[in-house]
Amino acid sequence: MLIIGIAGGTGSGKTTVVDQIVAELPKEEVCIISQDSYYKDLSHLPYEERVKINFDHPNSIDFDLLVSHLEELRKGNAIEQPVYSFKDHNRTGETETTHPREVIIVEGILILTHPEIRKLFDIKIYVHADSDERLIRRLKRDIAERGRDLEEVLGRYQNTLKPMHQQFIEPTKEYADIIIPTNRYNTVAVDVIRSIIHQKLVAQQ
């Protein structure tokens, strides 16, 4: 089993990189785990309070659960991955059964901030993108896919996203084995990653 961590700022193009890697792997050999599924359960708080939470701070993530789930997958056991609702800013109460695979990709902005998580990664990747480009992508995604309005997205960017990126996310580049520069079609970097995956999988057989 190979566990790969893919980090980078919001809107950096992590999902595109994940899709490019997965496209060349047999579907039955890979699974993707999103950090977003592991936001802490906030059912004890009313919606008005949940909206005020800083979801770009490492404290918003249930890293203990994520660590335990990755350890279970490495042991060959299935896990029940939480399902998160961005509309409600909370877990839905439902879970998704995730089975162990040859390649497990963990994707999220904060996954390299946690020492225990980093130890579980066989390959650590950081996707770098210009701050203006990341803001534009975030605006488009949150408005189109998450039902947010322009004022809310811009306010969150200025008050939490940007400072949290500078404080917690950008510094994690030093832990990365590979840094992919801003270019969603950076096929050379993705080809290198695919080769590394193949070599490591062969070595484990």
In this structure, what CATH number is given to the domain that contains residue 41? 3.40.50.300
What is the token pair recorded at 30?
């890979």
Q: With respect to residue 204, please indicate whether it lies within any of the assigned structural domains.
A: no
Does some domain include residue 119?
Answer: yes
Give the residue carrying structure tokens 């893919």: 6
Amino acid (1-letter code) at residue 86:
F
Within a domain: 35: yes
Model confidence band, residue 90 (pLDDT cutoffs 50, 70, 90):
confident
Query: pTM of the full predicted structure?
Result: 0.84
pLDDT value at residue 29: 87
Classify residue 131: in a domain, yes or no: yes
pLDDT tens digits, one per residue of 98-147: 999 999 999 999 999 999 999 999 999 999 877 766 666 767 777 766 66
In a domain, 175, yes or no: yes
Q: Would 101 be classed as within a structural domain?
A: yes
Percent of the chain residues past pLDDT 70, beyond the cut: 89
198: in domain? no
Q: Where are the beta strands (DSSP E) in the chain?
A: 2-8, 30-34, 79-85, 90-98, 103-107, 123-127, 178-180
Q: Could you report the per-residue pLDDT of 41-53, keeping only the tens digit for each?
A: 898 988 888 888 8
pLDDT at 183 over 60: no
> Would 197 be classed as within a structural domain?
no
Average the pLDDT over each of 130-139, 163-172, 187-196 and give the range with the smallest value.
130-139
Alpha-carbon distance of 119 to 32, in angstroms, equals: 18
How many domains does the chain contain in total?
A: 1
Query: What is the domain range of residue 30?
Result: 2-187
